[in-house]
Structures are given as C-alpha cells and as structure tokens.
C-alpha cells in the first residue's frame, strides 16, 4: 500500500542541498548507461563513473545518460559535480516523494515526473519518481530501479528513425515524457476495468469485500491524481517556450502532450466521482438491507405481542379461572391466537408494510 507521506526524519536539521535519499532501496548498485546518437551514428554502452568526465560534450551528438539506482549517495554526488548540477536539484532528485516540478538554471533545466507501473496480480499500481536534467545536447535521467518503459524509444533510435535521430535533446525529453503519459492511460484502463467489476459485484450483492475494494480504488485514484496533476504545470511551462533549451519545433509536441495530461486528469476526476457514487450506493444498500431486516423483525415482534399477552394471562397459576375448566379451551385458545396472527399479517400485507 502506498504511503501518504514518506519519512523525512533522515534530513531533519540538515542544511538545504544536503544529499539524503528519501525512498526505499530498490537497487543495491547504481548503474550508469549511455546512449549517444545523431543522424548517422548510434552507440549504447554502460559507463563507469570516471567515464563521465572523459566524454566529448563538444561533439554534435545527443547524449542520454541513464542512472538507475539512487541509494549510493557518493556516486550521485560525483555525477552532480561532473555536470555542475545545483545542490538543490540534486536534493530533489534524491527526494522521491517530491511533487513533479520544473526548475530552470543557466545551462540546464531540472524536471521531475511520476511513473506508474500497474501490478495486475494485486490490482495495484506502483508510483515512482523519475528526474531529468536537460542540457543543450544531453539528457540525464535518474530512476530508483531498472525500468523498461523507455525500450520503445531506444528501439526507435536504434532503427534510425529520422525524426528521433535528427532532432535534438529536447525532442528526446518529449519522447520520454510521452512514454510516461502513455502509461497513465494504461493504468487508468486497468483501474476502470476494476471499477466496472466492483460495480457489477455491488449490484449483485454487497459485502465487506466490496467496501474494501472501493476504498482501495479511491486511494489509488487519489495517489494518481496527486502524482499527475503537477505535471500539467510542468508541460505548460515547457510548451510556452520559457527556456531556450526547448526548440520551437518541439513546443508543438509538448503542447499536444499537455492535452493528454489534461485528459488523464479529466478521467481521474470522473473515476473519483464514480467511486464516490459507488460508496453512496453501497451505504444506501447496506442501510436499506438493514431496514428490511428490522422491518421483518418488527413485524414478527408485533405479531407475537398479543400472543404473548394471551399466553401470559392463561399461564398464570390462578385456580379460580373458569376458562381453564372448559373442555374446548385449549383448541379455542389456539384458534384465537392464530386468528389474531393471521389478521395482523393480512393487515400488514394490505398496507404494503410487508
């Protein structure tokens, strides 16, 4: 289950810019890989930490440096030194509970987003942060663990598609963000199917399991809303051309991606309304069911009240009751009690109380 707020006790009292990893350890060793390409050239390989400072950054190629695993603070600190990344940006990279944001610096920009991974086995999704440093001809991506959602982008680069290989690093950033947003739709589709199944189950019969499912879905949609909503502001800023690092040719793609995020937000709002309605229907159904049970019990109690009175009167040990000596008293008493019960049930039925 997702934590609402991750513990930040580790960086309590530390000065701003202190590098402390806030999150769960999901990879023991930090892996650094490089994808370098232009229209005629493509190379993919793993890097050692010392290789970062030896790369030719003046070469007119796009360099995508992917860092997987944030637990080794010394390696992350060294990467920050090589690329002269501001300590506050490095702090945001290690703070995986941070909301998606964008920060502009002189030679680069920092962007963070939330990635969603749906687990069909548990009907839950995992939410993780991924951060980007965008420079003039390079991108550095930081993730908590191994990720394969970017494989379609890598395959397109390997196949030498003209658009991906011809445009600069800002278009690569768009492609990576586009993959992340596409996964939002996949998660929404899975959540929608689960909601539809819960609706069908609730119509057929209500149970505690239905309530647990609704609460679980509401929590998931809430976390998705929390992770996706700020990304709208990030893409809005990128699409306005607030930075020279985003070319005019890429802005139109980012504005289209902005519309996709707005669509995701509209869908999450709709799902929240549906779940709230399901909760109201569930509570109403439970209340109605309880009312039906109470109605039946009340009718039974009402029918037995006069019968209990009669039985109580003739059950007293008083010897001077003349009716007790009558020959047909016992069957007559049964006839009277059955008549009273039948008359009351007929009256309740006529009044549509039962």
224-241 residue pLDDT tens: 888 888 999 999 988 887
311 and 207 part of one domain: no
In a domain, 289, yes or no: no
Answer yes or no: is pLDDT of 134 > 90.
Answer: yes
In a domain, 229, yes or no: yes
167 and 252 part of one domain: yes
Q: Count CB atoms within 10 A of the CB of residue 2.
A: 15
In a domain, 291, yes or no: no
- Quickly tell me which residue has 């650094």 as its tokens: 32
DSSP for 139-207 reads EEEEESS---TTHHHHHHHHTT-HHHHHS-HHHHHHHHHHHHHHHHHHHHHHHHHHHHHHHHHHHH---
Answer yes or no: is pLDDT of 322 > 80.
Answer: no
Q: Of the candidates 284, 309, 325, which is a domain's last residue? A: 284
275 and 144 part of one domain: yes
Q: Of the candidates 263, 284, 305, which is a domain's last residue? A: 284
261-275 residue pLDDT tens: 999 999 999 998 998
In a domain, 17, yes or no: yes
214 and 328 part of one domain: no
With 0-12 CB in 10 A as exposed, 13-18 as middle and 19+ as buried, what is 98?
middle
Answer yes or no: is pLDDT of 17 > 80.
Answer: no
95 neighbors 131 (Cβ within 8 angstroms): no
178-233 residue pLDDT tens: 999 999 998 888 888 888 888 887 777 767 787 888 888 888 888 888 888 899 99
Q: Of the candidates 284, 306, 326, which is a domain's last residue? A: 284
In a domain, 276, yes or no: yes
Edge-first strand order for the sheet with 124-134 is 42-47, 31-37, 62-68, 138-143, 124-134, 109-119, 102-104
154 and 210 part of one domain: yes
56 and 178 part of one domain: yes
114 and 87 part of one domain: yes
Domain residue limits at 324: 296-350
Q: What total number of domains does the chain contain? A: 2
In a domain, 4, yes or no: no
Alpha-carbon distances of 222 from 115, 149, 276, rounded to whole Å: 15, 23, 12
CATH code for position 157: 3.30.460.20
220 and 316 part of one domain: no
In a domain, 87, yes or no: yes
220 and 312 part of one domain: no
In a domain, 30, yes or no: yes
Local structure of 114: helix, strand or coil: strand
177 and 96 part of one domain: yes
Give the CA diameter of the chain.
Answer: 121
258 neighbors 181 (Cβ within 8 angstroms): no
pLDDT score for 121: 67
274 and 339 part of one domain: no
70 and 125 part of one domain: yes
């Amino acid at each position: 289950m997702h934590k609402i707020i991750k513990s930040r006790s580790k960086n309590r009292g530390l000065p701003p810019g202190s590098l402390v990893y806030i999150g769960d350890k999901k990879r023991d060793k930090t892996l650094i890989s490089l994808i370098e390409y232009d229209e005629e050239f493509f190379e993919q390989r793993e890097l050692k930490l010392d290789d970062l400072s030896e790369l030719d950054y003046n070469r007119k190629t796009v360099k995508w440096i992917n860092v997987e695993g944030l637990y080794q603070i010394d390696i992350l600190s060294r990467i920050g030194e090589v690329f002269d990344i501001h300590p506050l940006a490095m702090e945001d990279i290690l703070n995986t509970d941070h909301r998606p944001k964008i920060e502009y610096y002189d030679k680069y920009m920092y962007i963070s987003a939330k990635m969603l991974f749906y687990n069909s086995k548990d009907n839950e999704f995992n939410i993780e942060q991924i951060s980007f440093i965008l420079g003039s001809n390079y991108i550095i991506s930081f993730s908590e663990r191994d990720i394969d959602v970017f494989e379609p982008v890598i395959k397109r680069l390997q196949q030498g598609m003209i658009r991906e290989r011809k445009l600069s690093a800002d278009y690569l950033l768009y492609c990576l963000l586009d993959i992340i947003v596409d996964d939002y739709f996949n998660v929404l589709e899975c959540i929608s199917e689960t909601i539809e199944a819960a609706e069908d189950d609730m119509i057929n019969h209500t149970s505690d399991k239905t309530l647990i499912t609704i609460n679980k879905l509401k929590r998931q949609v809430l976390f998705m809303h929390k992770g996706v909503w700020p990304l709208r502001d990030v893409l809005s800023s990128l699409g306005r051309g607030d930075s020279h690092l985003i070319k005019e040719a890429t802005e139109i793609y980012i504005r289209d991606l902005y519309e996709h995020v707005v669509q995701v937000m509209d869908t999450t709002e709709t799902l929240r309304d549906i779940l709230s309605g399901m909760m109201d229907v569930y509570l109403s159904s439970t209340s109605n069911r309880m009312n039906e049970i109470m109605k039946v019990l009340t009718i039974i109690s009402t029918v037995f009240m006069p019968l209990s009175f009669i039985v109580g009167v003739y059950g007293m040990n008083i010897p001077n009751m003349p009716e007790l000596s009558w020959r047909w008293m016992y069957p007559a008493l049964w006839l009277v009690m059955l008549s009273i019960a039948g008359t009351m049930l007929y009256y309740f039925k006529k009044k549509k109380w039962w």
